[in-house]
Structure 1
Amino acid sequence: MTRVLILGATSAVAAEVAQIHASRGDRLHLVGRNPEKLAAVAARCAGATVSTATADFGVLGANERVLTEAITTLGQVDVALIAHGDLGDQLASERSFDEAEAILRTNFTSVVSLLIPLANHMEAGRKGRIGVITSVAGDRGRPRNYTYGAAKGALHVYLQGLRTRLYASGVTVTTLKLGPVDTPMTRDHEKTLLFSKPAAVAKDIVRVMDDGTAEAYIPARWGLIMPLVRRTPEALFQKLPFLSGR
C-alpha cells in the first residue's frame, strides 16, 4: 500500500489527485486550512483509508510539526504532493511590501519550510516521490503577475538543487509547471482555450510523478509555448501586448 501525503489538499487540482490515489487503494493523509473543505475532499475518497489535518502553511514555524505529525500518522511517506499557492494581488504587491512578502511566503518560503523536513525524511528512508505544483509564470517575469512569478521561479531553482541532492538516495522530485487551470483561484480571469480542467491536470500530475519525471509542463503544450516566451528578446517582448500587458 502506497502512503500518500497531500499538502494543500483542498485545492481543486489536489482534490482530483486525491481521488485518483483513493481509487488505487492508497492510504491518504490530507492537509489543508479549511476543515469543511478537507472533510468534503475526504468524502470524495470513499473506500480508501483517509486521515486529515488542518494547517495554515503561512505560519512558517509550525510547518515542521505539520510534517512530523503527517509522518507519524502515515508511518512513512511514499508519495508527497505540495499543492498550495495563491496568485495574490499583483497591483497591491507593487505598492506594499507586506503584500509582496505575503505572496512570496505563500508560494516560495512556505513550500521550502515543508520541503526541508519532507526531503530529510525521504532521504533517510532512501525512497519516495515528491511533486510540487508550480506555474509557467515562473519561467519569465510578466507585468501581470511578476511577484507571483518570482516566487515560482525561485521555487524552480530550489527544486533543481533538491532533485540533484536527493538523486543518490533514490528519491525523485518532480517540478509540475502548470498552465492556467479553471479553478476558484482563477475565477476572475477570462477563460480562454489555454485554460485546462482540474481532472485532466490531475491525471497528468499522477502520471509524471509515477514516471519520476524531473520537470513537466502540464498540459504538455506549455512545453512548446514557454521556450518561445523565455527566449523572446526583451526589447521585442515589451512591444507585444499579449506578453507584456497587464
Structure 2
Amino acid sequence: MSNGTLLVLGGRSDIGLATARAFAAAGWDVQLAARDAATLEAEAKDIALRHGVAATCHEMDATDLDSHAAFYDRLSPFPQVVVCAVGALGDQARDEADVASATAVMRANFEGPASLLAHAANRMEGSGTSTIVGISSVAGDRGRASNYIYGSAKAGFTAYLSGLRNRMTGKGVHVVTVKPGFVATRMTEGMDLPPVLTATPDALGQAIFTAVAKQRDVIYVKPVWRLVMAVIRAIPEALFKKMSI
C-alpha cells in the first residue's frame, strides 16, 4: 500500500489517535479532525517528530451537519483514506429517560458519521483508489436491553457502511466496516471488561491499517466476537426477550 494522507474524523479519541500513529509509522501523513482541534497540536507534533511525517489538526464538529461540506473544502491535500472514529457511548438508563439525550447519542453514532462519510465518498468517487473506514460496533448486531440506544445507532451505521460499500464497488472507493467489541479506552474506563474480549487502542489501530492494506470488507478486531455475536443473533426472539444481556 503506497503512502498518502490519512484523515481521522474523531482524532481526539484513543482509537483515532492509535490509528493515526499506525499509519504514520508506515510513512503516511496524518490529518486529525475534531472539535477544539487546537488542543490536539501537541499530539500532532509528537506524531510528526516521531515518524517524520506531516501531521495537521482540523476543526470539525460531527454533529453540525451543515458544516461538513465546508470542512472538506478546507482540507488540503484531500486524503486517500478517511477513518471515522466519531462516537459516544452514552448512558442507557439516562438515555431511556431523556429523549434529548438519546437523540444526541444517535446523532453522534449514526447521523453525524454518515453525513461526514457521505461527503467524503462523493468527493472520492472516480478519483482513483481511496478507502473509507467506519468504526461501528458489535452492539449493532442485535438490539439488547442493556445498550439498545447506542446499539441501534451503530446498527444503522453498519447498514449505511454496507450500502455505501455496495454503491462504491467499481468506483475507486473501498469501504471497510470495523467492529471492535470492547476497547480499553477513556470512554470505557472504570468498566469491568473481560480481557479475552477486550482490545487495546493500539491493536485496533494496527487492525485498521491492515484492513485498509488488504482491502477487507468487515472485520471483528477480536475474532472471538464473530462467534459470540453469531450465537446471540441465533437466539429465538421468544427466548431472547426474557434474557438480560
TM bucket, shorter chain:
over 0.9
Identical residues among aligned pairs (%): 34
Distance in structure 1 (CA, Å) of the matches to 2:146 and 2:69: 33
TM-score of the two chains, using structure 2 as the length reference: 0.92
2:121 aligns with 119
Deviations 1:181-231 (A, max 9, x none): 010111132122222211111111111121111111112221121111111
Deviations 1:145-176 (A, max 9, x none): 10010000011111111101100212100000
1:217 to 192, 217, 220: 220
Secondary structure of 1:58's aligned partner: coil
Distance in structure 2 (CA, Å) of the matches to 1:60 and 1:199: 30
2:207 to 204, 207, 213: 204
2:15 aligns with 13
Find runs of 4+ consecutive structure 1 residues off by over 4 angstroms: none
Of residues 32-41 and 2-11 in structure 1, the stretch that sits farther from structure 2 once superposed is: 32-41
1:68/1:123 CA distance change after superposition, 3 Å: same
Shift in Å, 1:106: 0.3
Amino acid at match of 1:64: A
Secondary structure of 1:143's aligned partner: coil
Tell me, yes or no, if the aligned pair for 2:198 and 2:222 is still in contact at 8 Å.
no
Tell me, yes or no, if the aligned pair for 1:19 and 1:44 is still in contact at 8 Å.
no
Distance in structure 2 (CA, Å) of the matches to 1:34 and 1:63: 15
Tell me, yes or no, if the aligned pair for 2:6 and 2:31 is still in contact at 8 Å.
yes
2:57 aligns with 52
Shift in Å, 1:68: 2.1
Tell me, yes or no, if the aligned pair for 2:27 and 2:53 is still in contact at 8 Å.
yes
Of residues 27-36 and 152-161 in structure 1, the stretch that sits farther from structure 2 once superposed is: 27-36
2:66 aligns with 61
Secondary structure of 1:94's aligned partner: helix
Amino acid at match of 2:81: V
1:82 aligns with 2:87: no
Tell me, yes or no, if the aligned pair for 1:204 and 1:219 is still in contact at 8 Å.
no
2:235 to 213, 232, 235: 232
Secondary structure of 1:223's aligned partner: helix
1:41/1:164 CA distance change after superposition, 3 Å: same
Secondary structure of 1:124's aligned partner: coil
Shift in Å, 1:129: 0.6
2:198 to 188, 195, 208: 195
Q: CA RMSD in A?
A: 1.5
1:103 aligns with 105
Of residues 141-150 and 44-53 in structure 1, the stretch that sits farther from structure 2 once superposed is: 44-53
Of residues 176-185 and 123-132 in structure 1, the stretch that sits farther from structure 2 once superposed is: 123-132
2:160 to 133, 158, 166: 158
Q: Number of residues paired by the alignment?
A: 239
1:147 aligns with 149
2:34 aligns with 32
Distance in structure 1 (CA, Å) of the matches to 2:119 and 2:210: 25
